[in-house]
A = this chain, B = another copy of it.
């Protein structure tokens, strides 16, 4: 029996994965979201640098699409704070200051997650717990191998998963526009960030504790751990370089 053909050659709903086929998630389904995702990665990893101009035709051609989906992706990244646009003048990769991270993003994240985690607590399924456990284990592995980028990604994935289970659409959506900015900040400062191994272990430990409290459905302990942990950015600059 030959494997079933993909229903569409151009934009498959299914993608080969070993000897099985996996259904593409809605998030990956539209070109616009793929484009947004690629662009986001390019900005976060520094392929596109702060201040750099984004020429629509160049980028859309590079991604083998037309400008329509790209422009919609740009509107989305604009709201995620990764891009700034000016009418008839173009779009540019934006910067983010340590001051705003400390004074605004971290407190907002604390508020959002404080509420979101509490709401999510009673919605978590067995599958969610399994997925969370997987992320925690990957995170611990990343710490062992000193993989800073992996650590950041697992961190975001863990918090994002819980937030998505909060059942609070605005909270989840706003969190989704804060997280990329924090990621961008982390990535651009990875070079100067020099966390000790001890600090990294501490981060993983904090998540393991948080995970345990979540599984135990211990609202109060979750809130306590969260507040302790969201505040600090081990190894990252906490004051602006330029005064």
Using a CB–CB cutoff of 8 Å, the interface residues on chain A facing chain B are 26, 29-30, 33, 68, 71-72, 75-76, 78-81, 84, 86-88, 94, 96-97, 99-100, 103-105, 107-108, 111-112, 115, 168-171, 173-174, 177-178, 181
Contact = CB atoms under 8 A, between A and B. Distances in A.
Contacts of A168: 97, 99-100, 104
State the oligomeric state as a number of copies: 2
A111 B100 CA distance: 11
Contact of A104 (B30, B33, B104, B111): B111
Contact of A170 (B88, B105, B169, B174): B105
B115 A104 contact: yes
Given A29-B88, A75-B76, A81 B170 contact: yes
Nearest to A68: B68
B105 A108 contact: no
A111 B106 CA distance: 10
A189 to B, nearest CB: 16
A205 to B, nearest CB: 28
B111 A81 contact: no
A94 B169 contact: yes
A146 B96 CA distance: 42
Give 4 nearest A-B pairs by CB, closest first: A79-B79, A75-B75, A103-B115, A107-B111
Given A72-B71, A72-B75, A76-B75, A104 B174 contact: yes
A33 B94 CA distance: 21
19 contacts: A26-B86, A71-B72, A72-B75, A75-B76, A75-B79, A76-B78, A81-B169, A84-B169, A100-B168, A100-B170, A103-B115, A104-B112, A104-B115, A104-B170, A108-B108, A108-B111, A170-B181, A174-B177, A174-B178
Contacts of A30: 87-88
A96 B173 CA distance: 12
Contact of A79 (B26, B94, B108, B177): B177
A175 to B, nearest CB: 9
Nearest to A95: B169
